[in-house]
Amino acid sequence: MSDRNAKIPFDEDNYTHNIHRNNERMLDRRGFMKTMVGAAGLFAISSLPWGAIAAKELMGLGEKEYPKKKIASLKSVAVGDSVDFSFPGEHDSALLIRLSENKFVAYQNACTHLRCPVFWKKEENEMICPCHHGKFSAHTGEPLAGPPRRPLPAIKVKVEYGNIYAVGVKRYEA
């Protein structure tokens, strides 16, 4: 066997004598490797926009500005009470809770599980999603129980001239 392989049938100066079909050498080993390098390049280029957007978001350029919106007057919200409002858009319903005399928190009230509305339960001091009994901490928006795994997105709140305003949406960090 081995001497059959070692034999050179004739003096050859090309390596295409054994090609019988047209374009048989179109995708040889080298061509295949070239394709793979090209594919790697394609992957590299296609990940550029993702990287660019991520970098933009990290540098805070993606921080959106919203016009501040009055939620309620200070007098109308007692400590422990909550107010429903919508921010930043008309259909982005949110929940303001007055935790103490000077502490206000606000969250988008769509549950992070299946977007059911989240309600403030004053007696239990926590936010509850009635659909599947998801519970969220009022202080941080973190989920405490139930199916939701991510915290509620927080809204920045400011008190000015006896009114409570929503001024922005906090960067969502899970």
Partner 1 sequence: MKRSHAGVIVLALMLALNIVFTQFMVHQFFFEHYRNTLIFAGLNILTFPVAFFIYKKEIRKGGNSHEQ
**Which residues contribute to the site for partner 1 (CB under 8 A)?**
13-15, 29-30, 32-34, 36-37, 39-41, 43-44, 46-48, 50-51, 53-55, 57-58, 171-174
Q: State the minimum distance, in angstroms, from the CB of residue 19 to partner 1.
A: 13
Q: Which is nearer to partner 1, 40 or 74 (CB)?
A: 40
Q: State the minimum distance, in angstroms, from the CB of residue 29 to partner 1.
A: 6
Collapsing DSSP to helix, strand or coil, 133 comes out as coil
Q: State the minimum distance, in angstroms, from the CB of residue 58 to partner 1.
A: 5
Q: How far, rounded to the nearest angstrom, does the alpha carbon of residue 137 sit from its chain's CA centroid?
A: 21
Q: Which is nearer to partner 1, 62 or 117 (CB)?
A: 62
Return the structure tokens found at 89.
Answer: 């858009």
Strands, sheet with 134-137, edge to edge from the N-terminal-most edge strand: 119-121, 126-129, 134-137, 143-145
Q: State the minimum distance, in angstroms, from the CB of residue 96 to partner 1.
A: 24
